[in-house]
């Protein structure tokens, strides 16, 4: 089950971050923050030659004892980070990919809203994220 979902802007500040266990939110914020380094490493490791073939889904960023962190970056350098409970071994790569795709689609919908200024905090994600956090259980 996804315990924390975050959308990070190009300048590395969070546009949206939400976690389910409401205690210890700070721990998740910190985890997401540290995972940004790994994301940057993965992006730069691709090298200039492979830029065309670069995939948006970054895969498992790093595992901790309780949680696994997955990353996804768009072409506009907006990053999606998802923290998943390690005890849920049934979650496969494909499922994580589809969750990221849904997130990406919702993000593009938010961008298309003429009243949304790029760089603002995102308000409209809550419904979709709640369904994602409960569903993948």
Partner 1 sequence: NKDLFVLTYGALVAQLCKDYEKDEDVNQYLDKMGYGIGTRLVEDFLARSCVGRCHSYSEIIDIIAQVAFKMYLGITPSVTCNNSSKNEFSLILEKNPLVEFVEELPAGRSSLCYCNLLCGIIRGALEMVHLAADVTFLQDRLKGDSVTEIGITFLKKRDEKKYRGKK
Per DSSP, 68 falls in state E
Structural tokens at position 47: 């090298």
Q: Is 110 one of the binding residues for partner 1 (CB under 8 A)?
A: yes
The least distance separating partner 1 from the CB of residue 16, rounded to whole angstroms, comes to 14
Q: Decide: is 126 part of the binding site for partner 1 (CB under 8 A).
A: no
Whose Cβ is closer to partner 1: residue 28's or residue 125's?
125
Return d(Cα 79, Cα 116) in angstroms, integer.
Answer: 18
Query: 12 or 131, CB closer to partner 1?
Result: 131
Sole binder of partner 1 in the list 37, 66, 95, 109 (CB under 8 A):
109
Burial of 123 (0-12, 13-18, 19+ CB in 10 A): exposed
Question: Which residues have a Cβ under 8 Å from the Cβ of 134 and sit 6 or more positions away?
Answer: 1
Least separation in angstroms between CB 110 and partner 1: 8
Name the site residues for partner 1 (rule: CB under 8 A): 109-110, 112-115, 124
């Amino acid at each position: 089950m996804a315990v924390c979902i975050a959308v990070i802007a190009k300048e590395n500040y969070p546009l949206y971050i939400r976690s389910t266990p409401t205690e210890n939110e700070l721990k998740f914020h910190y985890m997401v923050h540290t995972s940004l380094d790994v994301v940057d490493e993965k992006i730069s490791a691709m090298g200039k030659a492979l830029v065309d073939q670069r995939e948006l889904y970054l895969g498992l960023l790093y595992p901790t004892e309780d949680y696994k962190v997955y990353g996804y970056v768009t072409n506009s350098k907006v990053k999606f980070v998802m923290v998943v409970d390690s005890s849920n071994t049934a979650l496969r790569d494909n499922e994580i990919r589809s969750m990221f795709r849904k997130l990406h689609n919702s993000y593009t919908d938010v961008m298309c809203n003429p009243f949304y200024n790029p760089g603002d905090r995102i308000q409209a994600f809550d419904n979709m994220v709640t369904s994602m956090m409960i569903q993948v259980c």
